[in-house]
Amino acid sequence: MKFIVSSSYLQKHLQMLGGVINNNNTLPILDNFLFDLKGSELTVSASDMETTMKTVLNVQSETDGSIAVPARLLLETLKTFPEQPLSFLAENGMLTVSHDRGKSEIACASADEFPKPVSLSSPSSTTILGDTLATAINKTIFAAGNDDLRPVMSGVFFQFASDALVFVATDAHKLVRYRRDDLAATETAEFIMPKKPLTLLKTMLQGQETEVLIEYNDSNAQFSFDSTTLICRLIDGKYPNYEAVIPKENPNKLVISRTQLLNSVRRVSIFSNRTTHQIRLKMAGAELNISAEDLDFSNKADERLTCDYQGDDMQIGFNSRFLLEMLNNLTCDDVSLEMSLPNRAGILTPVDGLDEGEHVTMLVMPVMLNQ
């Protein structure tokens, strides 16, 4: 097995695949990239058993063969090279990397030990633009939970229908629903994607106008674009009925500059209790009062902001960390916060900055105020 390839071209693709490999794998073979050469096409794969990603590179070669190469050692070696052609020769379990100043030899494993990727039988499919998918992941993934006891909440819920594509994430304290009315699937489907493959996809697809083919069945999903394929196991279980927790009647509506609110909450939250991170929002007329108090240390802060408020005078408490995460995730100029009662969830939505057919709904649970 012998081939020649550009150092930077190979490094770029291997770095992308390297995100799949865990730091502490139970199976030593998973610390490797699988190189599978067929003529001038080199297919490189990485896997952690749950997620497998492979990409096809064009190389100079007329040979076939396959070998498992230690990922970290190869990546660290490639980082040291300026742009130049590298020659690879694999024989007798060794990979020799030759360059203009010398060579390196890497002990490799047999390709037969590498896990075989899952193949999806008769999957359903949907096509979506890369950047649109990356935006949907970006807008939701931060709200997904980390509780091992509730694995269904640790991923992003994909809902595909003939009139819209919906992406939802929640950790029971906050919830984000990202909806695209301008996109549709041919068949209705629902599945829960784990965070790790979504993070990889988000990084690769940000700003890309390439088409992504999503294929899925009950247990796996596969994303194909350009010369790359990512296949992952879905989270098993039924997603909670998130529609039921979104309050429908919210007569109290606050509209305010997102940047003003974000900066004010950030400043005031420094003085909040370190356990509850509680801040108090008090609305009356065209004024919003934001305050926090840490009784343990006698620290407190409050600020007044001008806003557009329609509704009854009210006070409501929120965990400032959740509110900051949501405000940071929005890109609009003004936000709307709709509320009904101090013990019901508040609904945060962008007033502007969305494309046609794009909808973002964020829900944040209140915290009980100390009177």
Quick: pLDDT tens for 237-260. Answer: 999 999 999 999 999 999 999 999
Q: What is the pLDDT of residues 262-283, one digit of tens each?
A: 999 999 999 999 999 999 999 9
Average pLDDT over residues 154-161: 96
Average pLDDT over residues 335-345: 95
- Contact present, 371 and 295 (Cβ < 8 Å): no
Domain boundaries, the chain: 2-113, 124-243, 246-367
How far is 114 from 91, CA to CA, in rounded Å?
18
- Contact present, 342 and 317 (Cβ < 8 Å): yes
Average pLDDT over residues 158-164: 95
How far is 285 from 269, CA to CA, in rounded Å?
23
With a pLDDT cut of 70, the percent of the chain lying above it is: 99
CATH of segment(s) 124-243:
3.10.150.10
Q: What is the pLDDT of residues 35-81, one digit of tens each?
A: 999 999 999 999 999 999 999 999 999 999 999 999 999 999 999 99
Domains 2-113 and 124-243 share a fold: yes
- Contact present, 121 and 217 (Cβ < 8 Å): yes
- Contact present, 321 and 277 (Cβ < 8 Å): yes
The class of domain 2-113 in CATH terms is alpha beta
pLDDT value, residue 308: 96
Q: What is the pLDDT of residues 193-237, one digit of tens each?
A: 999 999 999 999 999 999 999 999 999 999 999 999 999 999 999
Average pLDDT over residues 93-98: 96
Model confidence at 370: pLDDT above 70: no
Averaged pLDDT of the chain: 95
pLDDT value, residue 371: 56
Model confidence at 368: pLDDT above 90: no
Which residue, among 236, 231, 232, 196, has the nearest Cα to 23 in the 3D structure?
196
Which residue, among 287, 223, 228, has the nearest Cα to 57 in the 3D structure?
228
Fold designation for 246-367: DNA Polymerase III; Chain A, domain 2 (3.10.150)
